[in-house]
Structure 1
Amino acid sequence: MRPLNLRIEQEIERSIRSREYSAGQKLPTENEYCAKFSASRTVVREALKSLNSKGLVDIKKGSGIYVTQLSTKGAIDMLNFYFEMSQDKDLVYNTIKARQYFEPEIAAQAAMRRTDSNLHDLKISLDKLIACPLENVELETELDREFHSLVTDSAANPVVKIIMEPIFNLIPKHNKTVYGKDGPISDSDRRDATVKFHKGIYEAIEQKDSREAYYQMKQSLLKTEKNHLALMDFLKKNNTNLQ
């Protein structure tokens, strides 16, 4: 038989998912759940704590228990947490492959749907990358993340934003697995390639050329994959770790 706290958790979750309680609505009190399930307060709190960790309920001290309000930020935060805690040794490679599936089409949509404001923001990001000191890999990778996020903004689809933003947030975190200190790729080669593709993507979006935007994004991500695999191979052959 399932532990009582798990049964309580599943029953409350069922009531939320079936919309018996709507987003933002206050749930019964701990005492009411204790009476309903003939359970101790400790057991009920364990169930509620688990639901809180899943992002389904919001426990407000002195106020009560509420169904979590739905928001784009909340959805992104949950995916960020998953990627942060993942122990998948192939996470970076799989992330790069996932980007290859999605981002070329996102760039194509951005070329068709971008506004002048989108274009302005992309140009600022590109100019900051060009001006970035060559040795500042941390800033460069943050600007790379920013640029790809702005391309997604230009596609004007909030669902795509939710899906892609946590993936983009991995770019600075895992930059070592694409470049790596003392690896086979020089700073100048890295920068030249990044600027080249960002320019190509920007110009295609500026000209509303969806086919070229698709192509430039695809080539950019194929280069990222090549860099990552080259570094992994280099480290393996030299029996070294990332610095």
Structure 2
Amino acid sequence: MTQITDSALKLSTERSQGHSPRLYLSIADKLAQNIAKGELNTGDRLPAERDLAQLYDVSRQTVREALIALEVSGLVEIKPGSGVYVLKSAALKSSILADDAPGPLEIMEARLLVEGDAAALAAERISNEELLKLKAYLNQMIALVAAQKTAEAEAFDGKFHQLIASATRNSALQSMVEWLWTLRESSEISRLFAEKIRRQVAGPNIQAHERIYQCLSRRDAAGARAAMQEHIAQVTEAYILLIAD
């Protein structure tokens, strides 16, 4: 544990000096170095999430994102309800370290705020033609999920959300939503972990999208906001459940 503690102290110094563009990647890199040094061996269980958060003086969300980075690099395996276990000793993938996008949980947190209000505004401004198009996207998702074509269903999921943003008639909001979805796909960490979520839950949550659509069709702004925020919160919870001790 001494080497891990030394790494934590070094990380704290680096952070105070303004180094490291993404804190969670710094923590992931330090843990990878500790594995490479042999302090943690193949099959060993990493310290609990809360202990790592206390050790590195960061939030548990930051630790969760660091563990996601380690898993998509193939260094650890996250076993829900059991813990995080070392798979092999190796350096963190250079492409992961170079990923300058916000962490996947940060992206979801931003989506919760932005897309909730976008849905509320869209409920007041969406046209009948856009509602028909939204319903068509929903029907496509239903058919593709039933056919177990989850990747294709996810594509219509993105179209569903971005059409809602377009229906706000607010170009700034639309750009923000598009940017968040672009981050989700362009970040290797977010994209690979989203694929893991997809395998676990077998595609988009149809019931959640139906609730959003129904609120929009009723022009229920408060309901649309709540339905969208509940949907994104559920996806975020799915992320956390895959990492939790």
Q: Equivalent residue for 1:221?
A: 232
Change (3 A) 1:214 1:85: farther
Q: Deviations along 1:21-53, whole A, 9 cap, x unmatched?
A: xxxxxxxxxxxxxxxxxxxxxxxxxxxxxxxxx
Find the aligned partners of 2:164 and 2:183 in 1 and give their Cα distance.
Answer: 16
- Structure 1: runs of 5 or more not aligned: 1-83, 238-243
1:92 and 2:104 correspond: yes
The structure with more radius of gyration: 1
AA in 2 matched with 1:139: E
Matched residue, 1:200: 211
User: Is the CA contact (8 Å cut-off) linking 1:108 and 1:210 kept in structure 2?
Assistant: yes
Give the alignment's TM-score, normalised by structure 2.
Answer: 0.53
Q: Does structure 2 retain, via aligned residues, the 8 Å contact 1:111–1:209?
A: yes
Structure 2: stretches of 5+ with no match in the other structure: 1-95
Cα deviation code 1:120-165 (max 9, x no counterpart): 1111110100110453221122111111001101111111111211
Q: Please, what is the CA RMSD of the aligned residues?
A: 2.7
- Report the equivalent of 1:142: 155
Q: Which of the pair has the greater relative contact order for Cα pairs under 8 Å at 6+ separation? A: 2
**Partner residue of 1:103 out of 105, 115, 132:** 115
Moved more, 198-207 or 127-136: 127-136
Shift of 1:118: 1.3
Q: Tell me, what secondary structure is at the counterpart of 2:169?
A: coil
Give the TM-score normalised by structure 1: 0.54
Q: Determine the C-alpha separation between the residues in 2 that align with 1:89 and 1:182.
A: 21
Instruction: Check conservation: 2:107, 2:184, Cα contact below 8 A.
Output: no
In the alignment, is the contact (CA less than 8 A) between 1:93 and 1:225 conserved in 2? Answer: yes
Partner of 1:158: 171
Kindly state the Cα deviation for residue 213 of structure 1 after the two structures are TM-superposed: 0.3
1:169 maps to which of 167, 182, 194:
182
> Identity over aligned residues, as a percent?
20
Query: Whole-Å Cα distance in 2 between the matches of residues 103 and 215 of structure 1?
Result: 10
Aligned residues: 146
Task: Please show how residues 1-243 of structure 1 align to structure 2 within 5 Å.
Answer: 87-88=99-100, 91-133=103-145, 134-171=147-184, 174=190, 176-178=192-194, 180=196, 185-187=200-202, 190-191=203-204, 194-233=205-244
